[in-house]
Amino acid sequence: MGGHLIRAVVETEGLELTGAVERPDHPQIGFDAGLVAGAGELGVKISDDLAATMANADVLIDFTFPDVTLQNLAVCAELGKMVVSGSTGFTPEQRAEAEKYAAKIPVVLAPNMSVGVNACFKLLKEAAKILGDGFDVEVVELHHNKKKDSPSGTAVRMGEVVADALGRDYNKVANFHREGMCGERSKEEIGMQTVRGGDIVGEHTVYFIGMGERIEISHRAMSRDMFARGAARACLWLNGKGPGIYDMQDVLELK
Ligand SMILES: NC(=O)C1=CN([C@@H]2O[C@H](COP(=O)(O)OP(=O)(O)OC[C@H]3O[C@@H](n4cnc5c(N)ncnc54)[C@H](OP(=O)(O)O)[C@@H]3O)[C@@H](O)[C@H]2O)C=CC1
Ligand SMILES: O=C(O)C1=N[C@H](C(=O)O)C[C@H](O)C1
């Protein structure tokens, strides 16, 4: 996502790229971030020092992994800088730690920055409320073969939205695995299925399966650019906000 984010920042009026950070010992440290991202030379060198980089910045955009995001949040909380993070795969404990940092600084933390997926979250809530307990719910997501977390953060959020709307606890009803003589499907469970392969950007479908009919709410991402544009939009939205943890639902005023 790094390259997409750099290009989105450069293309967004009101934003300026002041730095770019990679992990220590990354071979591209010291390279021009714009050249690496295919955005033309920007005179911004890739650094391995987040604190020094943030000295000239108002907001960090972080698309990494939960343990790295928590380290980045610690640095930004210390410096009083805002954060937009799209990282996924947080455990409940890691999420609680992120919220602790967000008590000091404004943070947007969202598993999916696309307008379409955020609209789907609302549609799913409505669908679940209308359909109630008479429909079996299954969530299926497809992603590229480089993705490290499963199920995707978006699929987890979809499962949570539906479980909440049905008065169920996602952590109790999510079923990630069926194999062998595992018995009939329970009425409450929400199946969470994952497909990985090739260059699939990201696809999510929630099935509401009833007797004699089926509803499918699907989203297909066709490019990673729109995730980056969503992150850029979140940066602009954060300006002037107080400390706290926000979501794309806040940014898009969908709450
Ligand atoms: N919210 C949303 O809309 C979206 C969220 N995502 C999420 O964003 C995250 C990243 O995805 P993606 O870009 O595909 O993954 P990648 O593995 O391609 O990118 C992660 C990057 O973080 C770098 N990194 C690792 N450690 C550090 C560190 N200490 N400091 C700085 N950089 C570091 C990695 O470097 P290296 O490879 O050299 O280790 C890598 O370049 C995932 O959690 C994914 O699920 C993705 C798309 C959309
Ligand atoms: O890793 C990805 O690629 C994506 N991750 C996010 C997730 O886990 O939900 C969002 C998007 O689907 C792409």
pLDDT tens-place string over residues 156-169? 999 999 999 999 99
The pLDDT, as a whole number, for residue 201 is 98
The total of other beta-carbon atoms located within 10 Å of residue 146's CB is 8
241 is catalytic: no
Rounded-to-integer distance, Cα 227 and Cα 241, Å: 22
Q: Over 90: is that where the pLDDT of 84 sits?
A: yes
> Going by CA atoms, what residue is nearest to atom 30 of ligand 1?
23
* R_g (Cα) of the chain, nearest Å: 19
147 is catalytic: yes
Q: What is the pTM of this model?
A: 0.97
For residue 44, what are the β-bridge partners? none
Give me the residue label for tokens 């992120």. Answer: 98
62 lines ligand 1 (CB under 6 A): no
Q: Which residues contact 62 (CB under 8 A, 6 or more apart)?
A: 68, 69, 72, 83, 84, 85, 86, 87
What percent of the chain shows pLDDT beyond 90?
100
**Separation of 145 CA from ligand 2 center, angstroms?**
12
**Separation of 181 CA from ligand 2 center, angstroms?**
32
> Going by CA atoms, what residue is nearest to atom 23 of ligand 1?
64
Mean of pLDDT values over 172-177: 98
3-class DSSP state of 219: strand
How is 22-89 classified by DSSP, letter by letter?
Answer: --TT-TTTTSBHHHHHTS---S-BEES-HHHHHTT-SEEEE-S-HHHHHHHHHHHHHHT-EEEE----
Domain extents for the chain? 2-113+224-251, 115-221
Mean of pLDDT values over 24-41: 97
Mean of pLDDT values over 44-64: 97
pLDDT per position as a tens digit, 100-118: 999 999 999 999 999 999 9
Q: Over 90: is that where the pLDDT of 18 sits?
A: yes
* Closest ligand 1 atom to Cα of 227: 3
**Separation of 112 CA from ligand 2 center, angstroms?**
7
Q: Average model confidence (pLDDT) for the chain?
A: 98
ipTM exceeding cut-off 0.85 for this assembly: yes
CATH H superfamily, domain 2-113+224-251: NAD(P)-binding Rossmann-like Domain (3.40.50.720)
Amino acid, single-letter form, for residue 28: Q
Record: fold of 115-221 = Dihydrodipicolinate Reductase; domain 2 (3.30.360)
pLDDT per position as a tens digit, 189-213: 999 999 999 999 999 999 999 999 9
Q: Which residue ranges make up the annotated binding site for (S)-2,3,4,5-tetrahydrodipicolinate? A: 144, 153-154
Amino acid, single-letter form, for residue 4: H
Rounded-to-integer distance, Cα 69 and Cα 71, Å: 5
> Going by CA atoms, what residue is nearest to atom 11 of ligand 2?
202
**Geometric angle at alpha carbon 78, from 77 and 82, rounded to 5°:** 35
Report CA 149 to chain centroid distance, whole Å. 11
Q: Over 90: is that where the pLDDT of 223 sits?
A: yes
The pLDDT, as a whole number, for residue 255 is 84
